[in-house]
Amino acid sequence: MNPKPWGDTAVVGKPVSRIDAYERLSGAAIYSLDVLLPDMLHAAILRCPHAHAIVKKVDASAALAMPGVRAVLTDADQEARIPWHPDAQGKPVSRLFDPHCRCEGEEVAAVAAETPQQAADALRRIRVEYETRPFVIEMEAAHRAGATQVHDGGNYVYPPGTGDTERGDVAKGFAEADVVLEETYRTSCEIHTTMEVHGSVAKWDGKRLTVWNTTQGVFDDQAALAAALKMPLSDVRVIGHYMGGGFGSKLNLGKYTVIAALFARKTGRPVKLFLSREETFLSVGNRPAHTMKLKAGVRKDGTLTALELNGIGTVGAYTDWTTVGYQVADLYLCPNVRVKELQVYTHAGQSRPFRAPGFPQCSWALEQMMDALAEKIGMDPVEFRLKNIAAVSQAEENKPYTSTGFAECLREGARVFGWRQARERKKGDGAWVRGAGMAGGMWGYAGGPPSTAIVRLYADGSVNLNIGASDLGTGTKTVMAMVVAEELGVPLDRIQIESADTATTQYTGASGGSKTVMVDSPAVRAAALEVKAALVQMAAGQLQAAASGLSLVNGEIVSADSPDKRVKVQDLKTLKEQQVVVGVGRRGPNPAGKVIRPFAAQFAEVEVNTRTGEMRVLRMAAAHDSGRVMNRLTYENQVFGGMTMGIGLAMTEQRILDRETGKMVNANWHDYKIPTMKDAPADMTCVAIDPHDHECDTTSTKGLGEPAMVPTAAAVANAFYHATGVRMTSAPITPAEAIAALSKRRKG
């Protein structure tokens, strides 16, 4: 049974500070990295320094003799021969310490010692004999016939043609177009570099393993660990109480977790294994580089006639592929669409899902192309997009969206940004020129069941909320507490949350795909409603009134008919007897035959120095249809954070592999540039478009975390074009790239 949608809300939608703000800011919050256990050992990993090598011999005898060293693990240890890295067919192609190292940073050996320093020192005493091999690090090269092979059988992850899609008649579509444009767009490889590094603490109690992990999903890790160690799920406990960011890099079980567990079992002591910042650059994942050849046809009236995308992506050395075609096939009305994608292996770090995997890349291509088409047909870019709004999901058999606020995102975003004025503003006549650009976007995923939540109301009216979700730093706990506060009228500071512990909290899938709020908040709401119904029932007995006439208002149950009939929750006799009321809530199914999608439009004004190539993003405005705003503060956190990350894609972030050695040359926060406060515009605005979508889920929410960064880079690139007249097709737009392009125009 679906509960009624909220009307006016008392708590939900308001700007509410994090309920764990004190703990996070004071240092009282125990992140997995902070876990200290008696007798704990510290482990460290020796990594392959070559892009491609065979480990011929590992001699750890000197390391084992070092002070404080308690154990070493290599591929020679039978218990460490755990299959790893499934290929596209699910067959593992590697091992925990596989002697065949297919990229820099692969795990070769590990040491556990009394201190982290002793472990690090011992690593240097492990003698490894490597046989280096030829390597291929660029996807175009890997794609070529006769290229060095990453895996036996060639460099295609899937046979070419797999997953290609087509609708309508593309050739006919191009023939009908007034304007056809074709362009190749490129995005660079971005590294997941979360505030909190990756790692685990592992401890055995008899046959039971407990792991404190920095993870986006404790239950997913539990399942993966149980499979890796061949244990029943009941014997594997994964805890992930505080998290410092994941962005997709903490969705999968890390080798470090298994290594910590093996060491803990071997030594009979708890073991902590956290990666250094530098190690994370090599080994925890990335948003792979993409090359997208996009061809588009449009009629003068703004009707799209055909779209054709040919993409090449790379997964790195092992599969975890990212496709980019979804928005081409779905975002704008277009009858004739062809999408072809290739995925190749390279001798580089494995890709992993990274905040809206594939979507910012696709936007980089599609939204610049839309900008170019609009110019060609002399139409305003916003108007051009408004002309092509879809009410159904063309990529999903033309099923209707539960809602789309895309048109309103475009209109409202343009209004708050002052789009017309910005486009008409004088661009400047010195070195610095200004421009305004925009882009649309969507996110192509909606979560669904299972998710269970338990709300327990105590005799004093305070609440314990039990959810399995990890709060990645996004404010999940705060939002869930707000849902309880809304339904039960309990102040937020009387709601205590237990989360992200496979042994003690309720099942939910990992927090990824912008699904957490839309999947878990309806479960929490259902649990709270069950508690409310039980309280009303108790009051009905005590007040001798029909339950149907009673409602819970500000901690009191009141009769609508005779307002003197009222009782405070903590004065309910049955509650005193029972001590608690427990409500169990479960996430219901998504609506059948419909598609849930969030939409966005973002607008940027930039300033470009035509002499140095420097660019500054002066201001941005975002308009998002992510359904209901649950917490205005966390909503803005997501949008502003997403836009800042999008600026990284547009302007600064880029893994650089040395062509001579195949090694990453900027595996650190000094040389790999993520945007700082100085790179983010001081002026960021966010409009929430709420389509009152009561179909998507019982709290009317859609995903937000990922769409927040989808259009950003393209909007910036379009603004650069507006300022300079130069189209930057390769991200990031560094000063060097910009000045090269600008000077080419001057010469041209």
Point out which residues bind a second copy (CB under 8 A): 20, 22-23, 26, 28-30, 36, 38, 204-208, 219, 223, 226, 232-235, 237, 449-450, 452, 454, 456, 458-464, 466, 493-496, 498, 501-507, 509, 577-580, 582, 584
Distance CA 45, CA 257 (A): 11
Residue among 482, 497, 495, 489 at smallest CA distance from 535: 489
Minimum distance of a second copy from residue 117's CB (angstroms): 18
Distance CA 694, CA 25 (A): 36
* Cα angle for residues 264, 266, 272 (degrees, 5° grid): 25
Minimum distance of a second copy from residue 114's CB (angstroms): 16
Distance CA 251, CA 243 (A): 12
Q: Are 347 and 147 in contact (CB under 8 A)?
A: no
- Angle, in degrees to the nearest 10, between helices 712-724 and 359-377: 30
Minimum distance of a second copy from residue 584's CB (angstroms): 6
Minimum distance of a second copy from residue 456's CB (angstroms): 7
**Tokens read off for 483:** 């849902």
- Angle, in degrees to the nearest 10, between helices 712-724 and 735-747: 30
The pair phi, psi for residue 229, each rounded to 5°, is -100, 5
Minimum distance of a second copy from residue 158's CB (angstroms): 25
* Cα angle for residues 359, 363, 366 (degrees, 5° grid): 130
Q: Which is nearer to a second copy, 26 or 421 (CB)?
A: 26
Give me the residues paired with residue 213 across strands.
200
Count the alpha carbons within 13 Å of 324 in the hemisphere toward its beta carbon.
Answer: 32
| C-alpha torsion sign, points 149, 150, 156, 158 | positive
Minimum distance of a second copy from residue 323's CB (angstroms): 24
Minimum distance of a second copy from residue 252's CB (angstroms): 17
Distance CA 194, CA 280 (A): 9
Q: Which is nearer to a second copy, 506 or 724 (CB)?
A: 506
**Tokens read off for 81:** 């021969």
Q: Which is nearer to a second copy, 8 or 205 (CB)?
A: 205
Q: Which is nearer to a second copy, 9 or 570 (CB)?
A: 570
Q: Which is nearer to a second copy, 29 or 684 (CB)?
A: 29
SS3 category, 107: strand
Q: Which is nearer to a second copy, 43 or 453 (CB)?
A: 453
Q: How far apart are the first and last CA of the chain?
A: 67
Q: Which is nearer to a second copy, 445 or 507 (CB)?
A: 507
Minimum distance of a second copy from residue 566's CB (angstroms): 22
Minimum distance of a second copy from residue 225's CB (angstroms): 12
Q: Which is nearer to a second copy, 438 or 526 (CB)?
A: 526
Q: Are 330 and 442 in contact (CB under 8 A)?
A: yes
Within 10 angstroms of residue 75's Cβ, the number of other Cβ atoms is 17
Minimum distance of a second copy from residue 661's CB (angstroms): 42
**Tokens read off for 364:** 């980089």
Minimum distance of a second copy from residue 260's CB (angstroms): 18
Q: Which is nearer to a second copy, 149 or 570 (CB)?
A: 570
Minimum distance of a second copy from residue 112's CB (angstroms): 19
Q: Which is nearer to a second copy, 168 or 450 (CB)?
A: 450
Q: Which is nearer to a second copy, 28 or 736 (CB)?
A: 28
* Cα angle for residues 100, 116, 196 (degrees, 5° grid): 80
Q: Are 572 and 457 in contact (CB under 8 A)?
A: no
Q: Which is nearer to a second copy, 179 or 584 (CB)?
A: 584
Q: How many angstroms separate the most distant Cα atoms in the chain?
A: 89
Minimum distance of a second copy from residue 500's CB (angstroms): 12
Residue among 569, 323, 325 at smallest CA distance from 459: 569
Minimum distance of a second copy from residue 119's CB (angstroms): 20
Within 10 angstroms of residue 198's Cβ, the number of other Cβ atoms is 25
Distance CA 351, CA 348 (A): 9
H helices present in 230-325, as ranges = 255-267, 277-283
Q: Which is nearer to a second copy, 65 or 580 (CB)?
A: 580
How far apart, in Å, are the Cα atoms of 427 and each of 350, 378, 558, 617?
43, 19, 63, 14
Within 10 angstroms of residue 91's Cβ, the number of other Cβ atoms is 9
Q: Which is nearer to a second copy, 179 or 459 (CB)?
A: 459
